[in-house]
Amino acid sequence: MTAPLKPQSVGELAAHVSGRVVGNESVLINAVAELGSAGENEIAYVEDEKFFEAAKASRASCLIAPKEFVSLMNGAAPAFIEVAKPKLAFALIAEILHPQKRRQPFIHESAAIAKTADLDLTVFIGPHVSIGDRSRIGAGTRIEAGVTIGDHVSIGRDCVLHPGVVLYDNVTIGDGVILHAGVCVGADGFGYVRGDVSYHKFPQVGTVVIEDDVELGAYTCVDRAALGQTRIGRGTKLDNMVHVGHNCDIGERVVIAAQTGISGSVTIEDDCVIGGQVGFGDHIRVLSGAVIGSKAGILPGKIVRPGVWWGIPIQPLDEYKRLNAHLGHLPEMRKEIKDLKKQLEELRKKD
């Protein structure tokens, strides 16, 4: 995010998030901040009772809070914005006060651009960028230093490709996509066939389609399909160092945390939440609404139904918690069994 723009009044910010102002709506806000460090002309949020004391001590000029909390804080701040979801309102306000950096149209002299490439007049192209034959880049898109774009690549409007991104040939990127540093899209999938004495590469001639408003974290890799396409649906967000294997189909509004590895031909339907370091075998289907906890392991071919899942192999959360509770008592149970065996042996000797 850039430095803040001109200050906004509490009233203006409240209107943007459909909130109600309690206190002085003319107070000016120029930045968002943490609850504990916020000061004059800054806004913070509180949505959990355990942060009440910190909120009361806050020096923020405005606090975002749910209705039931505002009355309990007894005017701790000059102004409040009442909303049902304070964290969401805080994020929406941050978009206003700290918008993404904009670049003026520009092409650096060190960029290597194929003559057949089609670039909108409003794009920004940084130093040492390479753009291949017949690739197309839409209006307002920003390509930072050292990005490599292959042949026949399509990139939509208002995208941001941070330094070091690599797009292989024949991939498609929608509008409003953000690719962080080191992202690689379109590398060959991990597909080999065993021969008599060696492995032979299975054809990797498919493509990758990344739909609108997707964000991929730093050093995330999305492999091209062997045949057909690998897809990441609209509005999906992947954290740093996530690997998406060939022919995966990831739906809309999916969230995947860092270091998760997804094998080939996995389908993750819309609105799923995947924790960090989750391992997926191949040909798994995760149904819409499923939540998978961090470090879980999913065996090949499994269907994961809606609900919360955890463990290796995954199981419903309640079962996982029960099993963990039993595991915690294993040392005691082992001692009890040893004692019982000893008592049983003594009884046998008496007989």
Please list the pLDDT of the chain residue by residue as tens digits (351 residues).
454 567 899 999 999 999 999 989 999 999 999 988 899 999 999 988 788 878 888 899 999 998 888 777 766 789 999 999 999 999 999 999 988 888 899 999 999 999 999 999 999 999 999 999 999 999 999 999 999 999 999 999 999 999 999 999 999 999 999 999 999 999 999 999 999 899 999 999 999 999 999 999 999 999 999 999 999 999 999 999 999 999 999 999 999 999 999 999 999 999 999 999 999 999 999 999 999 999 999 999 999 999 999 988 888 877 777 777 767 777 888 888 888 888 888 788 776
246 labelled catalytic: yes
Q: Are strands 79-82 and 20-23 parallel, antiparallel or unpaired?
A: antiparallel
Distance between CA atoms of residues 233 and 247, nearest Å:
13
CA distance linking residue 248 with residue 206, whole number of Å: 12
**Unique residue bearing structure tokens 């995966």:** 248
Whole-number Cα distances in Å, 284 to 39, 131, 279, 300:
49, 36, 11, 6
Residues 6+ apart with CB under 8 A from 110: 127, 128, 129
* Confidence at residue 70, expressed as pLDDT on a 0 to 100 scale: 79
Omega before 331 within 30 of 0, i.e. cis: no
For position 324, what pLDDT does the model report? 72
* CATH value of 8-97 in 3.40.1390.10, 2.30.29.30, 3.40.50.300, 3.40.50.2300: 3.40.1390.10
Distances (CA, A) of 156 to 142, 150, 209, 347, 351: 11, 15, 12, 81, 86
- Supply the pTM of this predicted model: 0.85
Domain at 106-317, CATH homologous superfamily: Hexapeptide repeat proteins (2.160.10.10)
The amino acid sitting at 143 is I
From 108, 152, 246, 326, the catalytic residue: 246
Coil vs helix vs strand at 184? strand
